[in-house]
Amino acid sequence: MRLDLLLRNATVIDGTGAPRREATVGILGDRIAHVGAPGDTGAGDRRATREIDLAGQVLAPGFIDAHTHDDRLLLSDPAMACKISQGVTTVIAGNCGVSLAPSAADGRAPVPPLDLLDASGGWFRFARFADYVQTLENAPAATNAALLIGHTALRARFMADLQRPASEDETAAMRAAVDEALASGAIGVSTGLYYEPAAAATTEEVIEVCRPLTAHRGVYCTHMRDESEGVLDSIDETLRIGRALGVPVVISHHKVAGRANFGRSRQTLPRIDAAMREQPVCLDCYPYAASSTILTHGRTLIARRTLVTWSVPHPEHAGRDLTDIAQAMGLPVEETVQRLLPAGAIYFSMDEDDVQRILAYPHTMIGSDGLPHDARPHPRLWGTFARVLGHYSRDLRLFPLETAIHKMTGLTAANFGLADRGVIREGAFADFVVFDPDTVDEAVTFDDPIAPARGIDQVWVNGACVWRDGAQTGARPGRVLRHPAARSDAP
Ligand code: ZN
Ligand code: CU
C-alpha cells in the first residue's frame, strides 16, 4: 500500500478526549490509512508520495461547527474562508428554524429571521429540499455539510398566516416536506420557536410536523421558545418533543439571557444533566457573552449594549452602536430601530460566568452560530474555534486542549451521527487540521470582526488541502453528509 501523504512527528489529539500522543499519520485517498509509532519513517509498504514534518504542531480532526447558518454560504461563497481559516471542515447548517429550502421560490424578500440567509430573497429558489441538496452536490464547497430543514421555513412555505398554530392540512403539508427532506439527505429538523413566525406553533404542532424524524432516526435541534425567564419551561418542552418522537434533541446555543437571569446556568445544566439519564440530549454553545440575530426593539431592552450588524435601508450604520445611531438621527431608540429595519444586531445580554460554566460542561459542543451575510458580523463567525482553543483552553485553562478538541470533533460527530468523522484513527475520513498550540487564537474583535484565525497552519477535507499558509487553496472537496445509517444514541 503506497500512501498519498505521510504526516511525521505529529502531536496527535485524536478527538476522543484521550491524551495527546506522538504519531505518524498516513493518508490514502480520502481516508486516514495508517496511524503509526512516532519513529515511523514511512519506509517499506508505508512509503508515501509526499511527506510533511509537523514537529511542534498539533494534528487534530477537522472541527465540526455544530451550529451554523451556512445554507446559502455553501452556494454563494463555497470557499467558506470564515470556516476553513479556523479549522472547520464540516458545518451543520439549517439551524434555528431557518433553512434555505424549501421555499415559495418566488424571489420575494423573506420574513425575518429567514432574511438572515438573504435579505433580498433571490437565493430562496428551491421549492423542494432535494433541489437544494442536488445544487450543493453539483457544485461542492470547501467544507462538508450536514443539513437540517427549518420549521420556520416550512411555516413560511405552507402557511398563509404565521400568527396562529398550523391547521391539520398545513401540518400534513409540512410533515410531508420533512419526510421528503430526510429522504433526500437532511439529518434532522430545526425549530426557532423564539422567533415571531414560529412563536404561535404549539408543542403538538412541532411534534406532528417532526413525526418523520422517528423512522429516519433524525435529530431535533431547537432555538428554544425562551432563553430568559422561561428557560426551564423551554428545556422541558424540548425534552417532551424528544420523548414524543423518540429522537435525540439538540439545545442550540444554550444561554441564559438578561441580567435577571444571570447565574441561572446553575439551574439549567443540572436539569439537562438529569434528563440525559432518561433520553438523548445534546447542547452547543458559542464562546461569547453577546448574541446576534435580527434587530427588534424588544431584544434591545435586555441588552446592556446593542451593535447594528446590517440594515437594508441604512447600510452605512452597520458596525455602529444603536444609541449612537439614535443620537445621530435625533430619535428615540424605538423609532431608530423602525428606521433601520430590516436589520441585524449584536446584543450584549449574557453573563461571562454563565458562558464559561456552559462551555465547560462536559457535554457541551462548540457551535459558532456565525451569520456569514452580515455586513459587520459578530466575531463568532471567524473566531469561535480558535477562541476556544486559545483564549478559553490555553489562556484561561477552562479545560485541557484535549477536551476543547473533543467538544468540536468527536463529541459532535457522535451526537449528529456523522460516521467516521471527528476522530483521528485508521479508516476515518481524512478531515484534519494542523495548528500551533502556542499561538492559536481568534484575530477578530467586535470592532474588527473579519480576519482569519492565528496559528492555523493547514486544513484538509476528505484528503484534500483547503487551507495552507494563511490562504485557501481553491480545492472544493466538501460533501453532503447523508443521513446516518447507524447513530450512537448513547448520551
Ligand atoms: Zn438561534
Ligand atoms: Cu442560530
pLDDT in tens, 307-338: 999 999 999 999 999 999 999 999 999 999 99
220: domain CATH number is: 3.20.20.140
Is 7 a member of any domain?
yes
Is 212 a member of any domain?
yes
At 484 the pLDDT is 57
Centre of ligand 1 to C-alpha 97, Å, is 8
Instruction: Tell me: do 324 and 211 sit in the same domain.
Output: yes
Residues of the domain holding 13: 3-61+425-440+452-472
Longest dimension (CA), the chain: 76
Centre of ligand 2 to C-alpha 381, Å, is 11
> Does position 448 have pLDDT exceeding 90, yes or no?
yes
In this structure, the number of other CB atoms found within 10 A of the CB of residue 118 comes to: 18
Q: Provide mean pLDDT across the span 340-348.
A: 98
Q: Classify 227 as helix, strand or coil.
A: coil
Q: Which helix (H) or strand (E) holds 176?
A: helix 168-183
At 482 the pLDDT is 86
Ligand nearest to the CA of 191: 1
Centre of ligand 1 to C-alpha 439, Å, is 31
Instruction: Tell me: do 69 and 161 sit in the same domain.
Output: yes
> Does position 491 have pLDDT exceeding 60, yes or no?
no
Which residue has cell 519513517?
41
> Does position 53 have pLDDT exceeding 90, yes or no?
yes
Instruction: Tell me: do 260 and 159 sit in the same domain.
Output: yes
- The CA distances from residue 387 to 44, 54, 252, 439, 442, in Å, are 41, 22, 19, 11, 5
pLDDT in tens, 77-129: 999 999 999 999 999 999 999 999 999 999 899 999 999 999 999 999 999 99
Q: Provide mean pLDDT across the span 349-356.
A: 98
Instruction: Tell me: do 16 and 98 sit in the same domain.
Output: no
Instruction: Tell me: do 434 and 391 sit in the same domain.
Output: no
Instruction: Tell me: do 196 and 155 sit in the same domain.
Output: yes
Instruction: Tell me: do 179 and 221 sit in the same domain.
Output: yes
Nearest to 349 by CA among 390, 370, 378, 374: 378
Strand 281-285 to 219-223 pairing: unpaired
Q: Provide mean pLDDT across the span 234-254.
A: 98
Centre of ligand 2 to C-alpha 401, Å, is 26
In this structure, the number of other CB atoms found within 10 A of the CB of residue 362 comes to: 11
In this structure, the number of other CB atoms found within 10 A of the CB of residue 243 comes to: 14
Instruction: Tell me: do 411 and 432 sit in the same domain.
Output: no
Which residue has cell 421528503?
180
Which residue has cell 450604520?
317
Instruction: Tell me: do 48 and 69 sit in the same domain.
Output: no
Is 178 a member of any domain?
yes
Strand 88-93 to 144-150 pairing: parallel
In this structure, the number of other CB atoms found within 10 A of the CB of residue 427 comes to: 10
DSSP for 281-316?
A: EEEEE-SSS-EEEE--HHHHHT-SEEEEEEESS-GG
Dihedral angle sign, alpha carbons of residues 257, 260, 263, 267: negative
Centre of ligand 2 to C-alpha 96, Å, is 5
Q: Provide mean pLDDT across the span 183-190.
A: 97
29: domain CATH number is: 2.30.40.10
Is 321 a member of any domain?
yes
Averaged confidence pLDDT in the chain: 96
pLDDT in tens, 357-373: 999 999 999 999 999 99
Given a contact cutoff of 8 angstroms between Cβ atoms, the answer to whether 41 and 7 are in contact is no
Centre of ligand 1 to C-alpha 108, Å, is 23
Is 163 a member of any domain?
yes
Is 132 a member of any domain?
yes
Lowest mean pLDDT among 14-23, 48-57, 412-421: 48-57
Instruction: Tell me: do 111 and 55 sit in the same domain.
Output: no
> Does position 463 have pLDDT exceeding 50, yes or no?
yes
Grade residue 42 by pLDDT with cuts at 50, 70 and 90: low
pLDDT in tens, 119-172: 999 999 999 999 999 999 999 999 999 999 999 999 999 999 999 999 999 999
Is 110 a member of any domain?
yes
Instruction: Tell me: do 14 and 89 sit in the same domain.
Output: no
Ligand nearest to the CA of 222: 1
Note residues around ion ligand 2 (Cβ under 5 angstroms). Answer: 95-96, 369
At 486 the pLDDT is 38
Grade residue 488 by pLDDT with cuts at 50, 70 and 90: very low
Ligand nearest to the CA of 94: 2
* % of the chain beyond a pLDDT of 70: 97
At 41 the pLDDT is 66
Is 205 a member of any domain?
yes
C-alpha cell recorded at residue 435: 495548528
Instruction: Tell me: do 145 and 9 sit in the same domain.
Output: no
DSSP-assigned letter for residue 391:
I
Centre of ligand 1 to C-alpha 296, Å, is 15
Domain count of the fold of the chain = 2
